[in-house]
Chains A and B, each alone.
Chain A
Amino acid sequence: DAGVIQSPRHEVTEMGQEVTLRCKPISGHDYLFWYRQTMMRGLELLIYFNNNVPIDDSGMPEDRFSAKMPNASFSTLKIQPSEPRDSAVYFCASSTPGLAASNEQFFGPGTRLTVL
C-alpha cells in the first residue's frame, strides 16, 4: 500500500486566496483525521471523520476552515480566505480500529502551507 497520500506537498499562496489541501487515506481505513502543526502550538487535531461523516470538528479554528469527505478515498481541507497565521504543516492520518490491534493512526507526509 502507498500509505496516506497528501497533495500538494508544498503550497505558497497570498493572503486572501483560497487554499485546498487533499488527502487519500489508506484503502479500507474508515477513520480520517486532519492535523495542523506549528512551532507555537505543536500538533493539534482539527477534525476527524468516521465512514465519511464528520465526528468532531471542535479543533477547526474558525469558519474560514472547512473539511469534506465525499467518499471513502478522498478528503479535502479548505481555507478561504487564507491568512498568514494559517502557515503550518497540515497532516492527514487514517486508521481502522478493530482490525489492527495497535489501533494506530497512519500519517501522511504533510502539506507545508505558506501564506504570504
Chain B
Amino acid sequence: DAKTTQPPSMDCAEGRAANLPCNHSTISGNEYVYWYRQIHSQGPQYIIHGLKNNETNEMASLIITEDRKSSTLILPHATLRDTAVYYCIVRVSGYRDDKIIFGKGTRLHILP
C-alpha cells in the first residue's frame, strides 16, 4: 500500500500557483519524499525530491514540514501543460533502487 495520502483532484487557474498537498505521517528517517507526474497517455515523469529541507528546481518547489509528516508541491505559475496526475511517494534513496509504490495521486486540472 502507498504510504501517502493525497486529495483525488484539484483545480487551479492558469498562471496561478498550484499547491498540491501530501500526507506521509509514517515516513521513516531515511525515506525521501518524491514527486512524479503523469500527463495523459505518457509515462510518469520525475519532478523533484527531498529529505527534510525545502527544495527547488526548474519545475517546482517542495516544502516539507519540520516533522516531515506532510509536504506540499508548488508549481509557481501553472500552465495548461501542467494538467496531469501528480504522485507523492516516499522511498529510500541511495546507491540501490527498489520498488516505487504509486498511490492514486492527485488529478490536477489547470483551468484557462
Contact = CB atoms under 8 A, between A and B. Distances in A.
Interface of A: 4, 31, 33, 42-45, 48, 50, 55-56, 59, 91, 93, 95, 97-98, 102-110
Nearest to B92: A103
The majority secondary structure among interface residues of chain A is strand
Query: Top 4 nearest A-B pairs by Cβ distance?
Result: A107-B43, A104-B46, A98-B95, A43-B102
B: interface residue count bin: 20 to 34
B94 interface: yes
Given A107-B45, A109-B42, 16 more contacts: A33-B99, A43-B38, A44-B102, A45-B101, A48-B97, A50-B96, A55-B98, A56-B99, A91-B44, A93-B44, A97-B94, A97-B95, A98-B95, A105-B97, A106-B46, A110-B42
24 contacts: A4-B43, A43-B38, A43-B87, A45-B100, A48-B97, A48-B98, A48-B99, A50-B97, A56-B99, A93-B44, A95-B97, A97-B96, A97-B97, A98-B94, A98-B95, A103-B49, A103-B94, A104-B34, A104-B46, A105-B97, A107-B43, A107-B45, A110-B41, A110-B42
A42 B97 contact: no
Contacts of A102: 46, 49
A50 B97 CA distance: 9
The majority secondary structure among interface residues of chain B is loop
Nearest to B49: A102
B104 to A, nearest CB: 6
